[in-house]
Structure 1
Amino acid sequence: MNRIENLTLIDGNFSEVEAREILIPIFSSKINFHKIKNWSSQERYGEDDEIAQKRIPKLKNEIEKLQKILSEAKAKNKRLLVSSQINISLIDN
């Protein structure tokens, strides 16, 4: 596959509550994935997974930014236009 496949994950206009219900679980799931990956590395090899250790704080920071945006939307009684695409291509190992 030399091409990039684009998948639309989110594309819509949401209330603060709806956006919270959609977006927080996505970030939380990614954090959980990296926590499990790190735990697995610790159990198998006795050391942290470097990628997981770097991604977890970055994802937590993104949740903090998201919380601020959601709070602002709620305070200003605004809706949120959210779009998210996933780009996939095959690469060599």
Structure 2
Amino acid sequence: METLELLKSDIKNAKQNINLIDGCFSSSEASDIINALLKVKINFHKLHRLSITEGNSKDKCEVDNSRINELINEEAFAKAFFTQARLQGKKLKMTSTINITVED
């Protein structure tokens, strides 16, 4: 409750850290986690692009298109990386924290 009161009174200085991933995983588990995250982000940008083009069919959506391409490339790289780790019988340590701050 104290956190909610802080957010109501002073959102400018509020911040949030979400510890999303923290652990040691098999290559298969790591692949499942990363692929799920990448798919969600790709779909987010595809939906965002669609909503923009519904209002303006001439908008090239360069930011979303660029980000989708980056994420697809990361997906391919991750697949190769996890395959190599699996073939070598390696475990993978992964950490990921999302840091959220307020911007004007």
Tell me whether the two structures share a fold, i.e. TM-score over 0.5. Answer: yes
Instruction: Find the aligned partners of 1:66 and 1:2 in 2 and give their Cα distance.
Output: 36
Larger radius of gyration between Structure 1 and Structure 2:
2
Instruction: Find the aligned partners of 1:10 and 1:87 in 2 and give their Cα distance.
Output: 13
**Identity within the alignment, %:** 36
Q: Post-superposition shift, 1:78?
A: 0.5
> Number of aligned pairs?
92
Match of 2:4 in 1: none
Match of 1:35 in 2: 46
Q: Post-superposition shift, 1:56?
A: 0.4
1:39 corresponds to which letter in structure 2?
L
Q: Post-superposition shift, 1:4?
A: 4.1
1:20 corresponds to which letter in structure 2?
S
Say if 1:10 and 1:83, in contact at 8 Å, map to a contact too. Answer: yes
Q: Does 1:50 align with 2:90?
A: no
Structure-to-structure mapping, 1:10-21, within 5 angstroms:
10-21=21-32
Match of 1:24 in 2: 35
Match of 1:67 in 2: 79
Q: Does 1:79 align with 2:55?
A: no
Instruction: Find the aligned partners of 1:52 and 1:13 in 2 and give their Cα distance.
Output: 32
TM-score w.r.t. length of structure 1: 0.90
TM-score w.r.t. length of structure 2: 0.81
Structure 2 segments unaligned to the other structure (5+ residues): 1-11
Instruction: Find the aligned partners of 1:25 and 1:48 in 2 and give their Cα distance.
Output: 27
